[in-house]
C-alpha cells in the first residue's frame, strides 16, 4: 500500500476544557470526541468536493480517521457495533480518557493521491492540490463546528 496523504488537526487547550466540562456532569470525552470528528468531516467533505475526478475513486477514499493510524483508529473497529462515526467517537473518547488527548485525521490511501495533491496537474474536474486548501480555507468552519458541538452539549447539560 502507498504512503497515505494525510492532514492532522490539533486542538489546543483540551485538558482545561475537559475540567470545565466535567463540572457539568456530562460525558466530556464523548462530547469533545464527537465535536472533533464533526470538525474533521468539514475538511473531508470539502476535500472530496475539490478532488480531481476521473473515476471518483480518489474522492470516495477521502475519509476522516481517528487515533494514531491516519487511516484507522487506535482500537479495532471491525469488532464493534455501529456506524463509523459512532465507532470513531468511541475510540477518540477512549484516547481522551487514557491520554488526555486525541487526534482526528483526514486521509486517503489511494496510490496516486500524493501525485494529485503535490504535483501541479491540470484536470477536467477538480484541482490539485485538493486536501491542503480544504484545510486552509475551512479553518474557521472547523473551529465553528467544534465550538457548536461543544455548545450543544453544554446547553443540554444545563437543562
The predicted-structure confidence for 40-95, as pLDDT tens digits, reads as follows: 899 999 999 999 888 999 999 998 877 655 544 443 333 334 445 566 788 788 88
Report yes or no on 1 lying in a domain.
no
Structural domain boundaries enclosing 47: 10-151
- 158 found inside a domain: no
Contact 143, 52 (CB under 8 A): no
Note whether residue 156 is domain-resident. Answer: no
- Residue 68, in any domain of the structure: yes
pLDDT tens, position by position, 18-28: 777 667 666 77
* Helices of type H across the chain: 14-22, 28-50, 57-61, 84-99, 113-118, 131-136, 139-158
**CA gap 31, 22 in Å, rounded:** 11
Q: Read off the pTM.
A: 0.71
The total domain count for the chain is 1
Amino acid at each position: 500500500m502507498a504512503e497515505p496523504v494525510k492532514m492532522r488537526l490539533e486542538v489546543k487547550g483540551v485538558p482545561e476544557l475537559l475540567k470545565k466540562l466535567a463540572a457539568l456532569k456530562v460525558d466530556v470525552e464523548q462530547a469533545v470526541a464527537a465535536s472533533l470528528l464533526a470538525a474533521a468531516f468539514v475538511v473531508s467533505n470539502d476535500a472530496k468536493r475539490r478532488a480531481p475526478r476521473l473515476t471518483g475513486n480518489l474522492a470516495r477514499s477521502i475519509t476522516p480517521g481517528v487515533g494514531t493510524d491516519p487511516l484507522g483508529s487506535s482500537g479495532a473497529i471491525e469488532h464493534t457495533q455501529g456506524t463509523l462515526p459512532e465507532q470513531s467517537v468511541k475510540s477518540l473518547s477512549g484516547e481522551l480518557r487514557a491520554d488526555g488527548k486525541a487526534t482526528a485525521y483526514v486521509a486517503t490511501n489511494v496510490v496516486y493521491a500524493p501525485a494529485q495533491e503535490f504535483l501541479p496537474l491540470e484536470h477536467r474536474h477538480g484541482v490539485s492540490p485538493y486536501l491542503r486548501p480544504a484545510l486552509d480555507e475551512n479553518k474557521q468552519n472547523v473551529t465553528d463546528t467544534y465550538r457548536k458541538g461543544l455548545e450543544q452539549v453544554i446547553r443540554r447539560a444545563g437543562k
